[in-house]
Amino acid sequence: MIWKTLKFIFMLPLFGVVAIVATSCTQLGLNYASLETGNKPAARPALELNSAEDWQARQVPALKAQLEEAVYGPVPVGIASRVVSRRVVDERYLGGRGVLEEVLVELGEGDQTVQFTLALATPKVPLGPAPLIIGQTFCDNMGVFEFADLAMPMQGGSCGMAENRSALGAAFTFIFGEYINKAPVADYLERGYAYANFFAAELVIDNPEAGREDLSGFPAGADGRQPTGAVAAWAAGYFAAIDVLENDDRLNTNKIAVIGHSRHGKSALVAGAWDSRITAVIAHQSGTAGASLSRDKPGETVDHIVNGHSFGGGYPHWFTPEFAQFTDDTDALPVDQHALLALIAPRRVFLGNGRRDVWSDPNGAYRAAEGASKAWTLYGEAGLAQAGMKAFNPDAGIAYHMRPGGHGIVRADVDAFLAFLETSFAED
């Protein structure tokens, strides 16, 4: 008991350092998100939902164009993707529960290419072709899979096993949860799912100046347009992962989920909206320009996200430069985030939230879900089917989850992910 007390006292300065660093990304939760939505403005502009045919033929292309022009820039669909190399890292990963592999993937052609490393864990004793979960993370594959023999990242700082187990890593875990740097791979394998992961910074480094430089050399999509924002470029990592894995007989690529937390929740949503091969999207605490509305909001505003705030700098490289024109007038935005959610219909989306994560605006995410919900009804499906922000329904088209606590990934989140995945991957 004395040793535990001394250890906690020793860790306090580290907690302070982590808190200071963390506030450049998100304000630590000191307040509670409002659970009232009826007294707040609804998502606008309202979607035109006349018929499934009109929605697909007219509205979907128009909304994608608006989101690209105002928020994300071109989403690079159709980039040529190929396997450069592939190796088995561990035949008995996690005590024999899975096989761990590493795939070096290249996007683009000629002089304009980018490479990233995809780590893949498949069940050792599959029950049939395995549903596939693809994660995009802050941490390199070594840390996510807790396996030192995986490759170091080609760019971006490592948070591999040694870093995770350091005192600073322990402080991050204490504040942001057990799964902020690692994935619950054992849970996935035990349920017969495969899990693939890539480190987003290998595609575009998460820094305003260096990120813009990476974007200037990023491959163009099939329509010849280059991405002008990192979120759209990171979404291309999901597309490429599916490209190189969709012919793997061990995988059921009719059942693909993508998952991302915070800024990577934004790119998971964009990937789901632009790629119909994706069955389900898990966007956890994706915040402004993710699942949460840009208008009428507490927490992080468009101005904060582009220009920074008193706690740290902004992230203008996440979006097209045109997004900056709306920092002082979000009412001028031609589109809001309920449109992004609606583009995923009739496929499924999970929106994870923390009651104290006001910075990510859980209330705005719920109102966006309300505004998008009717898109599912065009296909005879239920959209948001729950009585308020705390009534989680993992079976619905939009599954909104709220737990206590702040920004991060804890066991309660993982349990909700698994409940959502179970229904998403259920037999037809």
- For the chain, give the mean pLDDT: 92
Q: Which residues pair with 259 in a beta bridge?
A: 135, 282
Amino acid 320: pLDDT: 98
Q: Cis (ω within 30 of 0) for the bond into 346?
A: yes
Amino acid 289: pLDDT: 97
**338 pLDDT more than 50:** yes
Contact criterion met (CB below 8 Å) for 23 and 17 = no
Which tens digits make up the pLDDT trace of 244-293? 999 999 999 999 999 999 999 999 999 999 999 999 999 999 999 999 99
Amino acid 126: pLDDT: 75
The residue whose two tokens read 């989850």 is: 401
Which tens digits make up the pLDDT trace of 110-141? 989 999 999 999 999 877 899 999 999 999 99
Structural domain spans, the chain: 2-424
Contact criterion met (CB below 8 Å) for 198 and 141 = yes
Helix axis angle for 263-274 and 230-245, nearest 10°, is: 60
Prediction pTM value: 0.93
Contact criterion met (CB below 8 Å) for 304 and 27 = no
Amino acid at 151: A
Amino acid 309: pLDDT: 87
Amino acid 125: pLDDT: 82
Q: What are the percentages of helix, strand and coil residues in the chain, rounded to 5?
A: 40, 20, 40
Amino acid 243: pLDDT: 98
Top CATH class, 2-424: alpha beta
Whole-angstrom CA distances from 238 to 93, 105, 235, 257, 392 are 24, 11, 5, 10, 27
The residue whose two tokens read 């729950």 is: 386
Range of weakest confidence among 152-156, 216-220, 348-352 = 152-156
Whole-angstrom CA distances from 152 to 57, 96, 114, 156, 245 are 44, 24, 16, 10, 22
Question: What's the pLDDT band for 428 if we cut at 50, 70, 90?
Answer: low
